[in-house]
Chains A and B, each alone.
Chain A
Amino acid sequence: MLSKLKLNAIVLLTLISISGAAFSVVELAEFKSAEEEARYKSLIAELRCPKCQNQNLLDSDAPIAADLRRKTRTLIDEGKSNQEVKAFMLDRYGDFVLYKPRFTAATAFLWIGPFVLLALVVFSLLRRIRKKQDAELLKSSQADDEAVRIKVRNLMSSSPSLGKPNETPNND
């Protein structure tokens, strides 16, 4: 089915893509435990490179990103918790280094804004729906009234005992 050439090409492409992943910017680092290594990886993915605007420390090959990776490694090595590492970076580089902003007075709108907007939309939508329902209810009740009126009129005109006095004109 597949020619040998095609198969070779596929194997080659696969190998190239794998080696590409292996040669990413991050230097080799040794850790005391797998848990520390996992923490390191999650931290450098979460911390933002201050020089390169929109890359995390993991992606960036800027010198400062390499320095901050090294610092992160050292801090983990010294037994600092994730929270302490983040606080260290925050104290020196400000909120910018965190891809996930903290909840402060300045960022409150950022965090709550979407929910406020959602609540507003839901509220106004509900109001509109209710208004429409009320209008329809009124319309249908008016229609009901009309139907009853016609029914009564028909009843009155078809019933001889009720209809007679009205039907025969009074000639007195």
Chain B
Amino acid sequence: MKTKFLIPLFAFFALAILLGVGLTLNPKELPSALINKPAPHFSLDLLNGSGSTFSPSDLKGERWILNVWASWCPSCKYEHPIFNEIASKTSIPLVGLNYKDKPQDATRWLAQRGNPYTKIPSDINGDVGIEWGVYGAPETFVIDEQGNIIYRHAGPIDPQILESEIAPFFPQLQTLFASAKG
């Protein structure tokens, strides 16, 4: 009975801890609505592809990466070397969705920085981006053999994210990291 006056104090601390934890969360990390759902269908012309197209169903049976990028996007420059590395050291299909970009700008950008992509579908008006729940470049998705989205990252990929979040989906990347360490 004598300790009853402590109840507001405990309530205060409980609330302070709850709100404190809330402050440390990153509000920009939105939960993805498409995880474990079939990758939205599209069929887009390839960048400079003279009329040939790409559709996610082309890669059915394979596990692949879709990277949303644009020449106007500063963070894309930052993450680009990582994709160059993946392309040179593994055989993982790497599709680069060119998002709301001018084809000639995109071509020049890739000529300067290297082209890691196996296919570059060109989403000029951003409609496919909307279908995939993209809200800005860069974004990176992993699609499994059944055509389901199993991973999504909004924002640039860095080596640490590649190792801890994306490599677990790809044995080839895991052996790469293992050999780099050993």
Contacts and interface: CB of A to CB of B under 8 A. Distances in A.
A90 B30 contact: no
22 contacts: A50-B30, A50-B135, A51-B136, A63-B100, A63-B136, A64-B126, A64-B129, A64-B134, A64-B135, A67-B125, A71-B127, A91-B33, A92-B40, A92-B130, A92-B132, A93-B30, A93-B33, A93-B133, A93-B135, A94-B133, A95-B31, A96-B30
In this complex, the interface size class of chain A, counting residues with CB under 8 Å from chain B, is 10 to 19
A67 B126 contact: yes
A51 B27 CA distance: 11
B27 A53 contact: yes
Interface residues of B, number: 20
Contacts of A91: 33
Contact of A67 (B28, B32, B130, B132): B130
A68 interface: yes
Given A50-B135, A51-B136, A93-B135, A71 B130 contact: yes
Shortest 7 CB-CB distances between A and B: which pairs?
A94-B33, A50-B135, A92-B133, A51-B135, A64-B135, A67-B126, A96-B30
B136 A64 contact: yes
Contacts, number: 46
A90 B30 CA distance: 13
Given A64-B126, A94-B133, 13 more contacts: A50-B133, A50-B135, A63-B126, A64-B129, A64-B134, A64-B136, A71-B127, A92-B132, A93-B30, A94-B31, A94-B33, A95-B33, A96-B30
Contacts of A62: 136
Interface in B104-159: 125-127, 129-136
Contacts of A95: 31, 33
B36 to A, nearest CB: 13
A2 to B, nearest CB: 49
Interface string B22-42: 000001101111100000100
